[in-house]
Amino acid sequence: MDTSNSAHGAAAASSSSSLRRPNRWKYEVFLSFRGDDTRTTFTDHLYIALLKAGINTFIDYQLRRGENIESELDQEIEGSRIAVIVFSKRYAESRWCLRELSKIMRCLKDQEGKIVCPIFYDVDPSQVRKQKDSFGEAFQKHEKDEDPNEVKQWSKDLKASADLAGWNLKTTADGCEGVFIEKIVGDVKGLLKTTDFKEAKHSVGMAFRVQEFSTKYLDVGGSPNVQIIGIWGMGGIGKTTLARAVCINYQQSFSRQCYLEDVRSKKKEMVSMQEQLLRDILKQPDIKVSSVAEGTKEIKKRLGSMKVFVVVDDIDDVDQLDELAIEHESFGPRSRIIITTRDEHVLNIQKVDKKYKAQAMTEKEALELLSWYAFGNDYPDKEYIELARDIVDYCGGLPLALKVVGHLLATKKNKTIWESTLDKLRNIPDGKIHETLKLSYDGLCDDHVKGVFLDISCFFIGLGISFVTSILDGCSRFSVEA
């Protein structure tokens, strides 16, 4: 594609079920064209190529006889993920085509996830945009014969559609139609491809959290502004799981998505992450950048008009956001950017609009999650209930800890062994849990802050914040608020 044109209990009870929304689209592609110009030539060849590629495509001769054609066409436009408009020399002569175009452009504005792509077939985008030549002649006639307000809307919609990213026969493949059609089909397949997000095996409590996050923070379909939202909390609490669940729930609302995973551990691979962001959003697999500076510049230059959904997972440094050009001006209207981090301070910057603190699991949720991993069902075996509650208390509501311990205990069907394992864990934490929690400690900014953390952990467990703060503030070497 040529992109240069540019209630908690109730929710928890059902939370193990899939969060995925059903696909609302009847067709993947709707073809709009002027029949007299291209029906038996270019559009027919394109339609057959799309079908051969396995793309469910609507063309107008699929309409049922005797139906209200205009009403049925409107329904098919609304039910199609992508509308492809074939602009030919005599396209604007048809009032039917122009009314269909206006319906498509209304759907682009009103329907989340709708994509509209123009094809310029033997016409230049400027002819469509400015209504010149054959387009200008057609509009002179319409201005005499049609409702002036409707003609004005047609003109506005033509201009807006010509400004969209699309394909131009004259500037692609030296005008060779076969290669041109192959290019279009390949790009359409790319636009239809969604990010393959792996769902959590047991999404206990996640339905409630996704609903809360989506309603209070994400606001898809609400504000037209770019929204940057942070999710923060300690390691293993489920920040990444929540971000993935939100992606799964809303991927049909965004045709352009990117999930940048585990950014913290890839500091030396920033160029690769920049390339991934550009490739995933632009649907172009061969994008390369030579340096971090160039990558930042390209993101700002090429993505500024596009509605995107981006997740930047597990950052620990504001510089990472700067290098990925995570700011409002880098993306198009209605874009949503999610940042996950262990360090709330990373989000205390002007570019972040809202912050969501990830919550530990309730006792009921934690018991259910442990039970799925340890017993394969949603509640512990009767003789293990009290032990399971002790393990939930040990894990402190952390999903990662519950998963690791559940796996560890799954093969130990002897109550005595369970008791022994729990005693061992209390003295020697499991390696996976230890490493995850240690990352939060290692990520503290300096030895002074780490010292404060260790003093609080060793001497002030269970005491109130104000009491601990007053004691530490009395020590000249501490600056607790900082």
* Residues designated catalytic: 100
Specify whether the CB–CB gap between 401 and 392 falls below 8 A: no
What distance in Å separates the CA atoms of residue 102 and residue 95, rounded to the nearest whole number? 11
Say how many CA atoms lie within 13 Å of 183 toward its Cβ. 18
What is d(CA 82, CA 192) in angstroms, rounded to the nearest whole number? 8
* Distance of alpha carbon 283 from alpha carbon 271, whole angstroms: 17
Identify the three-state secondary structure at position 224: coil
Q: CA–CA separation, 97 vs 240, rounded Å?
A: 46
Structural tokens at position 3: 């992109």
Q: Are 336 and 218 in contact (CB under 8 A)?
A: yes
Q: Residue 91: CB partners within 8 Å, gap ≥ 6?
A: 33, 34, 37, 97, 123, 135
Q: Does an H or E element contain 298, and which?
A: helix 292-302
A 10 A CB-CB count for 391 gives 25
Evaluate whether 320 touches 270 at the Cβ level (below 8 Å): yes
**CA distances in angstroms from 318 to 31, 75, 292, 322, listed in the order given:** 45, 46, 15, 7
* Residue 417, C-beta contacts closer than 8 angstroms, at least 6 positions apart: none
SS3 label, residue 261: coil
Task: Give the rounded distance of the alpha carbon of 194 from its chain centre.
Answer: 9
Separation of alpha carbons 169 and 179, rounded Å? 10
Q: Tell me which amino acid residue 409 is.
A: L
For residue 228, the one-letter residue type is I
CB 408, CB 400: distance < 8 Å: no
Q: Note the residue count of the chain.
A: 482
3-state secondary structure of 225: coil
Instruction: Return the structure tokens found at 411.
Output: 């093969």
Are 212 and 285 contacting, i.e. CB atoms less than 8 angstroms apart?
Answer: no
Distance CA 172, CA 11 (A): 52
